Structure 1
Amino acid sequence: MSGPGQWQSPTIKDEDVAWASELMGFGPNGFAKVGDNDTRLSAIKNMDTADFEACPGSGKTTLLVAKLAILANRWRHPRQGVCVLSHTNAARNEIGKRLSASPVSVALLRYPHFVGTIHSFVNEFLAVPWLRSKGNPVGVIDTQIALRHRMGLLSWKWKSAMERRFLTEYALSYDAPNYTGGDKGALTTSSPFYQAMVAVSKASSEIGYFCFDEMFVWANELLDVRPEVATALRERFPVVFVDEAQDNSELQASLLHRVFCEGRSPSRRQRFGDSNQAIYNSFEQAGASTDPFPSSNKFDLPRSYRFNQTIADKVKAFGVIPQSIIGAGPSPSGISTAPKPPIVFLFDDDSVGRVLPCYAAHLVDQFSRDELESGTFVAIAGVHDSSRVEPIPCSMKHYEPNYDAACVRRASSPTTFAQYLARARYEMGGSGNVFPLVFATASAVLRLAAMAGSNLNSVSPKSPHRRVLDLLQNDGDRTKYSELVEFVVSRKGELSKSEWDGCCKQLVVSVAEALADILPSSVQSFLKWPELNIGVEAETDTSKRRIDNLFSYPEDDPIVHVRLGSIHSVKGETHTATLVLESFYYDHHLSELKPWLLGARSGGIKKGSTLEGSRLLGRLRLHYVAMTRPSHLLCIAMRKDAFDGHELVILRERGWQIIECCDGH
């Protein structure tokens, strides 16, 4: 077998690009030069190590899949493969779905190739084999379950000490192979308290419970002990693609660099992303310092096929690093109506609850019935979950009191069965695809069994539904599980409290007990049905308690459904219309960004060529992501008292239309 140094990259020719374009339904010229702009054609033909800085809507995933199809068609190496790494499961599934559409490119989803998340790559090729080689079982890789298990091992004395020191359960995680590290505050490593937490982390890990990021600890230990593993992986994967590279953490970037790039005979590596869309879980969090994206070998993809130049001109100033954006959208394959003028909704304390109805009414006025049915309409906030009640508005709950933040969190698992169903309905988005409901039901049952202490080998490649069927030992238990799935699907995941208490809850418990024997009382919180924030509700058996974060308008006979979420939850999506809502973190986000909105500022550079502080840069990146989602209509909602009369004139001169939600109050 030839090593990576001898692997010969195929030369991608114009006829290969035309073939891939035809294969993807774009005709022969889908990636051809447009006027003087040949950036997409150059990117798809480039097979050298490079980074591609892609503006929102540039079609980088489409370009990547086209390039992968060409490679699949030309691949002649039975023991070497293409490695495609994504940041999230959603991105991985999107790539997999597109590859599956072609009998040629579907080959990349099988050996010797790999298409998956960075975490799954680390688990499959590094951490899990290394742990098992040392005799350490790997049963559950789930941060919440692992930390809950460790808390259960900790004595009451040390739990009380954690409370007194305001330490969370994350103090029981670690970042070194001796089980030390994690967020243990100011404790010294020699203190009995510190050692007690290390002991339970070790004990839990030794019987197979791990947090997600702890797998990087063991992957790095393997590379320390057996550096030849990196050489073997480069030989196996001579070419590597990384999608959404701007989101890679230091933990991820440093390990990937170590595996594929550091030292001799590196793999060919191409990364795709947009540094202006690098948003993290907190405003102070930074990205990779080892091998940051983009590198000096950078190529721009400035042409957006999502929105027109009007939206491009409105949003490009919010990019921390100002980039040219050519608005070449919206795509004719979507809704055929013309783009609409951007809107600023203004409100005050008394009218914050009217923002979503005003937005929905505007959608009904601007789009036809067919467009409202086929389009995607979203309202998002930078802070979607907060215990604060002042200053108004703090979070999404000021606009919709029944908003459930857990429904849209991609990075964490739901904490109740009801939240699993709510997230599934959110993913369905009103479509008839019931797969999310089946997936959610199976996942919830597995989590309940794991909470009860059952080690169910969560690293199995099978779907949750298939795993449940395989784990159930007799026909009676399988019948109960089938009844549960049928019950949930027949009601499209919308259950009343009486339906849950009447039979559904017992089915869930019966199936989980078949997997875990006995369910302890500690799991009752997982089985609790949610209460809505309403004053008076008619208690009937048929009343549905919606927590799927869909705002339907009009309430009695809905014409449009607006999906509610955080900005993080919609990253990478394209919407017909997007409403960006004001929210609060140290200050109101959009009010802080008013100079950019009014055209007085652009980018993240202060006078004197220094960057703004991390909090301001975080606001810019977050709202740049938010405002670049829509294809046809961009809306923002802000407090009326954020502007004076002159500033409202400037907004109108810059092309914004003003709608006051507080009219008549």
Structure 2
Amino acid sequence: MEIEKFITQAKKIFISGSFDEERRDFIKNLETCDLLAVPGSGKTTALIAKLYCIAQNMPFEDGSGILVLAHTNTAVEEIEKKIKKHCPQLFQYPNYVGTIQSFVNRYVANQACFEQYGSYITKNEDELSNEKVAREIFYNKSSKIYAILSRYLKESRNTLTEVFLGKYGIADKKQQLVKFRSLEFIDKNDSLLNIQKNYDRITSSLLTQTERKILFDFNNTLKGYEPSLTEIIELVKRIEYNEEDCCFYSDIFPKTWKKRLVFSSPSGAELKTIYDELRKQGYFKYIDSFDLSLKFILSNTDLKNILQKRFKYVFVDEMQDLEINQINIVDQIFFGKESPTVIQRIGDKNQAIYSSGRKVKQTCDWITREEAEAESYVDLRIQNSLRLSSKTADLVDKFVLQRPENYKVTGLFKDSDLNPHLILINRDTTGKEIKSKFIELIKKHQLNNCDKNIENGFKIISWVTDKEEDNSELYLKKLFSEYTKESRVRKEDFNCLKKYIYHFDAGALTLGAARASILNSLTRILDLEYIRDGRGRKFTKSTLMQFLKNQGDEYYNDFKAKLFSWAFDATVNGKKEEVFQDLKIFIKGPDFIGLRWSAEEEDFIACSISRSEEFVDSVNFEQEENPAVSVSSNEEINIDLQSIHAVKGQTHCATMYIESSYFKYETSKLRVVARVGTKTRPEEILPNPLFNQYHNYRSDGDARAKEALKMMYVGFSRPTHLLCFVVLEENIKDYLDMLCHTKGGIWEIDKALLVT
């Protein structure tokens, strides 16, 4: 394999400078290893250069190829965009470039699914699978599993609140609850106790007429409560299907059941039937594909051997984003003493902020080869960041959570020597004032005229972007009402009709994306209404178009004209609401749902919108998937508002990180008390990276601090020139003097936004 002689060519194509020793060592290495790389190190560019050099040696004599995997479609598209025109052979047989999900589905899970369920995978999507399960439960109210879920929801609503008391003009609501508790009409959790048993006592002179009315009205509210489909969907999201243990796990199941619902119970059997039927139709959650594949590959060594011979080299980018089940399936297929395949995994363990759950993981699931097999493997490193200046890198280095020996983030970006800015605010400071301060700093340092501005732009980011219930704590949408959550993935299926119109791939340059999304919405409605094609299968876009064509030329041409008009108005004219309203009328009318969907006269039943009514009316529509909002000023400086998760992997010219409250604020989480103070000795505070100190958070009790470290590490490592950190003064006032006198003067502190 000739690599060295092609590095110069790769350099000319992919970078403006040259590859240093760290990067050249990685490009030339063709042994199984892991590469640990800091933010902005150009690790993906180094991988692309390696792929280019390998491609110049292809085809291989044994007919094998290379496999390139990444966690997201975005990462795959980035690799493809940079290298495909130079090495098109990498995207042809026997090679494969794609997400780990697409690889596992294509080469393992599809066959496993067919052998176990008699079908191939149709969709891998949690939201769609959860909704389909929930609909089966919701529309079978006589089932035992519906009874369990509805009982849980009813019990969760059985809390007499001060808000409910407020409807009756109760002045001292807290005291009223105390009275009800003392009389044992509600328990210590303010849940209403059995009203029938307490009827005589309630109607006695113990209570006033208003107090009696409160208890009876609240009881009637509970009796009349019926769960909504949305509530059932939210519960289904919390249920884990565990085939190995023959049960479902969930926190909604009673402790006496050990939080389990076994398959052998009547309700468990009902729920398992729903899940199994869904799998027979080819619908799986993301994690299901990996569990199914791992089980399959363990019993199919022939397939394992075939894949090892097919792929001589395997490269996995953004390795830190993979979860344990994804890591296991790749290793189970390719890694081992007898395996001829070389596997190289690339990433930054400290940027592992994604997980299938809601929590930020303290530790990365990825254990490097050196950590696992210290004598056999040596991890490679790229510790020089081409993005970060020396001052920003020095700060970011203090936020490293998992630090191998002699590991340090070093900044090589030379065009900025700005100190990070610590901007103090209080609860009266407005988002408009914060944005104006950011623009002021951008102009002060002439970043609006900087090449990096044109290339990378300016971002305001935060950990918490929105909350279901408004409160006094800070989050992005509270400061900037124009913010909407940005979608991290391109989707084809949504939980309501309106999202198909509003959230299709608007970045496409043709009308095809809107057209496909509208057709997907129509097939989804037919599926919800259990309307099948002539072969008893779910309609696809192509079979639907064929069915409509069979209605005659006049109908078909009229439909195609409508479809073009809807796609054009949604894409070009921005008339999404008008398209939604018009499409809704069409769907409910005789020209769609009123068609003769059954070919046989004796089978014909007039169809109507029933099971899909909420879906069509889009009663739960929220603008969740819009692109990140750009906030413009009169000076035409655009500021993007995004979450920290959304900007991972991005480079900015300037970044403003606003602290927010997820259990506590970041500044509060980092202040860890190791020993509580007494009269004779002061409290001991662990070293804090905000003070330019190397932390030593070590116990399980420091979990929140470790979460904050990872989020701040990702957020702080985005900008080339200017980093701003916006904090509530009340959170740091006790140690503000320490920050002002931090060794090395890491922060430039700005108090101009404090409202007196």
Task: Please indicate, yes or no, whether the TM-score normalized by the shorter chain is above 0.5.
Answer: yes
> Take 2:492 and 2:463, find their aligned partners in 1: how far apart are those partners?
17
**Partner SS, residue 572 of structure 1:** coil
Q: Match for residue 312 of structure 1?
A: 393
Q: Match for residue 116 of structure 1?
A: 98
Contact 2:400 2:709 in 1 (8 A): yes
Q: Match for residue 123 of structure 2?
A: 140
Q: Match for residue 630 of structure 1?
A: 719
Q: Percent identity?
A: 23
Q: Match for residue 536 of structure 1?
A: none
Deviations 1:364-402 (A, max 9, x none): 444465545554211111122323534421x22222234
> Take 2:303 and 2:33, find their aligned partners in 1: how far apart are those partners?
24
Q: How many angstroms does 1:622 deviate by? A: 1.4
> Take 2:643 and 2:338, find their aligned partners in 1: how far apart are those partners?
43
Query: What is the one-letter code of the residue matched to 1:106?
Result: P
Q: Match for residue 8 of structure 2?
A: 18
Q: Match for residue 341 of structure 2?
A: 267
**Partner SS, residue 238 of structure 1:** strand
Contact 1:283 1:614 in 2 (8 A): no
Q: Match for residue 325 of structure 1?
A: 409
Contact 1:246 1:275 in 2 (8 A): yes
Query: What is the one-letter code of the residue matched to 1:524?
Result: V
> Take 1:451 and 1:133, find their aligned partners in 2: how far apart are those partners?
29
> Take 1:54 and 1:456, find their aligned partners in 2: how far apart are those partners?
52
Q: How many angstroms does 1:129 deviate by? A: 2.2
1:161 to 137, 148, 158: 148
Q: Match for residue 405 of structure 1?
A: 485
> Taking structure 1 as reference, are residues 531 and 122 closer, same or farther at Cα in structure 2, changes over 3 Å only?
closer
Q: Match for residue 199 of structure 2?
A: none
Q: How many angstroms does 1:436 deviate by? A: 9.4
Task: Give 1:158-237 correspondences, 5 Å limit.
Answer: 158-165=145-152, 168-170=235-237, 173-176=240-243, 180-183=247-250, 185=253, 186-189=259-262, 190-237=264-311
Q: Match for residue 107 of structure 2?
A: 125
> Taking structure 1 as reference, are residues 470 and 161 closer, same or farther at Cα in structure 2, changes over 3 Å only?
closer
Task: Give 1:333-348 correspondences, 5 Å limit.
Answer: 338=416, 340-348=418-426
> Take 1:576 and 1:622, find their aligned partners in 2: how far apart are those partners?
19
Residue 379 of structure 2 is aligned to residue 298 of structure 1: yes
Deviations 1:149-182 (A, max 9, x none): 1222223242241243368113555243797445
Residue 616 of structure 2 is aligned to residue 524 of structure 1: yes
> Take 1:652 and 1:508, find their aligned partners in 2: how far apart are those partners?
67
Q: How many angstroms does 1:93 deviate by? A: 1.0
Query: What is the one-letter code of the residue matched to 1:24?
Result: F
Deviations 1:508-544 (A, max 9, x none): 9999979x99762131354776599xxxxxxxxxxxx
- Higher mean C-alpha deviation, range 205-214 or range 587-596: 587-596
Deviations 1:90-123 (A, max 9, x none): 1111111112231xx2211111101111111110
Q: Match for residue 537 of structure 1?
A: none
> Taking structure 1 as reference, are residues 204 and 416 closer, same or farther at Cα in structure 2, changes over 3 Å only?
closer
Q: How many residues align?
A: 602
Q: How many angstroms does 1:413 deviate by? A: 6.9
Contact 1:360 1:553 in 2 (8 A): no
Contact 2:90 2:97 in 1 (8 A): yes
Q: How many angstroms does 1:138 deviate by? A: 3.0
Task: Give 1:271-290 correspondences, 5 Å limit.
Answer: 271-281=345-355, 282-283=358-359, 285=361
2:51 to 51, 54, 68: 68
**Partner SS, residue 643 of structure 1:** helix
- Higher mean C-alpha deviation, range 121-130 or range 397-406: 397-406
Q: Match for residue 247 of structure 1?
A: 321
Contact 1:434 1:489 in 2 (8 A): no
Contact 2:691 2:739 in 1 (8 A): no
> Take 2:561 and 2:495, find their aligned partners in 1: how far apart are those partners?
26
Q: Match for residue 593 of structure 1?
A: 670
Residue 101 of structure 2 is aligned to residue 95 of structure 1: no
Q: How many angstroms does 1:451 deviate by? A: 5.6
> Take 2:660 and 2:369, find their aligned partners in 1: how far apart are those partners?
29
**Partner SS, residue 380 of structure 2:** strand
Residue 561 of structure 2 is aligned to residue 571 of structure 1: no
2:749 to 655, 658, 664: 658
> Taking structure 1 as reference, are residues 501 and 20 closer, same or farther at Cα in structure 2, changes over 3 Å only?
closer
Contact 1:591 1:642 in 2 (8 A): yes
Q: Match for residue 737 of structure 2?
A: 646
> Taking structure 1 as reference, are residues 530 and 231 closer, same or farther at Cα in structure 2, changes over 3 Å only?
closer
> Taking structure 1 as reference, are residues 179 and 187 closer, same or farther at Cα in structure 2, changes over 3 Å only?
closer
- Higher mean C-alpha deviation, range 199-208 or range 233-242: 199-208
Structure 2: give runs of 5+ residues left out of the alignment: 154-233, 254-258, 533-539, 550-555, 598-606, 672-686
Residue 441 of structure 2 is aligned to residue 362 of structure 1: yes
Residue 70 of structure 2 is aligned to residue 86 of structure 1: yes
Contact 1:261 1:267 in 2 (8 A): yes
> Take 1:418 and 1:206, find their aligned partners in 2: how far apart are those partners?
29
> Taking structure 1 as reference, are residues 88 and 357 closer, same or farther at Cα in structure 2, changes over 3 Å only?
same
> Taking structure 1 as reference, are residues 66 and 196 closer, same or farther at Cα in structure 2, changes over 3 Å only?
same
> Take 2:410 and 2:568, find their aligned partners in 1: how far apart are those partners?
49
Query: What is the one-letter code of the residue matched to 1:80?
Result: S
**Partner SS, residue 489 of structure 1:** helix
Q: How many angstroms does 1:604 deviate by? A: 4.7
Q: Match for residue 107 of structure 1?
A: 89
The two structures have a TM-score, normalised by structure 1, of 0.80
> Take 2:270 and 2:287, find their aligned partners in 1: how far apart are those partners?
21
**Partner SS, residue 472 of structure 1:** helix
1:379 to 435, 438, 460: 460
Q: Match for residue 228 of structure 2?
A: none
> Taking structure 1 as reference, are residues 344 and 628 closer, same or farther at Cα in structure 2, changes over 3 Å only?
same
Q: How many angstroms does 1:552 deviate by? A: 1.7
Q: How many angstroms does 1:603 deviate by? A: 4.1
Contact 2:692 2:743 in 1 (8 A): no
Deviations 1:393-421 (A, max 9, x none): 1x222222342225457899765566667
**Partner SS, residue 602 of structure 1:** coil
- Higher mean C-alpha deviation, range 349-358 or range 191-200: 349-358
1:152 to 135, 140, 144: 135
**Partner SS, residue 121 of structure 1:** helix
Query: What is the one-letter code of the residue matched to 1:550?
Result: V
> Taking structure 1 as reference, are residues 108 and 628 closer, same or farther at Cα in structure 2, changes over 3 Å only?
same
> Take 1:262 and 1:485, find their aligned partners in 2: how far apart are those partners?
51
Residue 56 of structure 2 is aligned to residue 56 of structure 1: no
Q: How many angstroms does 1:278 deviate by? A: 1.4
Contact 1:52 1:273 in 2 (8 A): yes
Q: How many angstroms does 1:642 deviate by? A: 2.2
Larger Rg: 2
**Partner SS, residue 631 of structure 1:** strand
Contact 2:125 2:286 in 1 (8 A): yes
